[in-house]
């Protein structure tokens, strides 16, 4: 049994919220669950349109982790010049296929394709990315459904590393439907009970707003936006942002400076990225349960 008091710490003394470690725990737990059920087929299907290199890598990693989790995966790849009908037909086929439990359409789609119309074809039970209108509606209404993987991964990290949320002040930087908006909903939900503020590019005195917070979740995509001046001593700081710079891939958080002040911090890479995939696996097992392919 893993204990919670032996966390690795940064040089400055902050708890390191290790996403690789937690993702591995989640994947191993799913594998054990599927094994214990006699290995029912749990299938994740991905749809990739075009030849975007990062998207290809993301999809490959998802398949690798699905296999490690004891799932089977299917992949549909369409050319860059695929038409709206081609993509919609591919998703429709997967939606109707009872052997497929989770469908993930890798975004963004090439220019000229309407992603909303494609996502509309994914049934809520199979929407393991949690990004469709119906899944978002279920999240807002507090009904059973899939939650977007990145904000769900952040919640798992906070929980695993003992970051208290009830009655605490949380600031989320970024208001996208992919990360920031569902993140605020999850933090404010009953059971988590944080007081969550949604900050964005028009927020005045962002540093001052963040300095009030016990928890900061940065999802702006602005390299090293969150400096030590943003952080109240002891606060938990979660970095979601990914920026490609001359120094390589950089997060939204100035890790070296912030780890001196924060009580807990995610590394970048190795924090929220792996957790996104771990939660995709969690959602896929939940999808198989919702569809009756795996006992509840």
248, exposed or middle or buried, with CB in 10 Å at 0-12, 13-18, 19+?
exposed
* 217: contact with ligand NAD by CB under 6 A: no
Among 37, 76, 95, 222, binds ligand NAD (CB under 6 A): 222
Q: Could you tell me the smallest distance in angstroms from the CB atom of residue 295 to ligand NAD?
A: 31
Active site residue 106: yes
Contact residues for 143 (Cβ-Cβ < 8 A; gap 6+) = 137
Q: Which is nearer to ligand NAD, 23 or 126 (CB)?
A: 23
- Compose the 102-141 pattern: x for residues touching ligand NAD by CB under 6 A, - for all others: ----------------------------------------
Among 197, 273, 280, 287, binds ligand NAD (CB under 6 A): 273
Beta carbons of 228 and 254 less than 8 angstroms apart: yes
Among 240, 265, 281, 286, binds ligand NAD (CB under 6 A): 240
Active site residue 62: yes
Catalytic residue chosen out of the listed positions 18, 126, 127, 129: 129
Beta carbons of 134 and 125 less than 8 angstroms apart: no
Task: Round to whole Å and give the CA distance between 239 and 157.
Answer: 11
Candidate segments 49-57, 137-145, 169-177, 258-266, binder of ligand NAD by CB under 6 A? 169-177
3-state helix, strand, coil in the chain (%, to 5): 40, 15, 45
Bridge partners of residue 264, in order along the sequence = 15, 236
Catalytic residue chosen out of the listed positions 62, 65, 126, 168: 62
Task: Round to whole Å and give the CA distance between 126 and 135.
Answer: 10
> What does the binding site for ligand NAD look like in residue numbers (CB under 6 A)?
150, 173-176, 178-180, 199-201, 203, 206, 219-222, 225, 240-243, 272-273, 276
């Amino acid at each position: 049994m893993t204990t919670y008091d032996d966390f690795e710490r940064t040089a400055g003394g902050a708890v390191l919220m290790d996403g690789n470690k937690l993702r591995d725990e989640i994947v191993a737990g799913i594998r054990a669950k599927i094994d214990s059920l006699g290995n029912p087929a749990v299938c994740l299907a991905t749809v990739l349109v075009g030849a975007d290199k990062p998207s290809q890598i993301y999809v490959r990693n998802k398949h690798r982790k699905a296999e490690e989790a004891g799932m089977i995966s299917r992949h549909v790849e369409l050319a860059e010049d695929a038409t709206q009908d081609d993509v919609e037909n591919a998703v429709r086929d997967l939606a109707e296929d009872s052997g497929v439990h989770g469908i993930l359409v890798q975004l963004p789609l090439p220019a000229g394709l309407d992603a909303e119309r494609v996502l509309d074809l994914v049934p809520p039970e199979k929407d393991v990315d949690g990004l469709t209108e119906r899944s978002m509606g279920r999240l807002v209404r507090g009904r059973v459904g899939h939650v977007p993987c990145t904000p769900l991964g952040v919640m798992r990290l906070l929980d695993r590393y003992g970051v208290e949320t009830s009655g605490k002040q949380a600031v989320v930087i970024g208001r996208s439907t992919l990360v920031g908006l569902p993140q605020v909903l999850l933090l404010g939900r009953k059971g988590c009970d944080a007081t969550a503020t949604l900050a964005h590019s028009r927020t005045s005195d962002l540093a001052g707003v963040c300095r009030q917070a016990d928890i900061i979740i940065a999802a702006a995509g602005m390299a090293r936006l969150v400096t030590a001046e943003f952080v109240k001593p002891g606060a938990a700081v979660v970095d979601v942002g990914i920026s490609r710079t001359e120094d390589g891939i950089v997060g939204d958080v100035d890790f070296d400076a912030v780890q001196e002040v924060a009580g807990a911090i995610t590394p970048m890479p190795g924090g929220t990225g792996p957790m996104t995939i771990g939660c995709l696996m969690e959602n896929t097992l939940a999808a198989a349960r919702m569809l009756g392919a795996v006992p509840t």
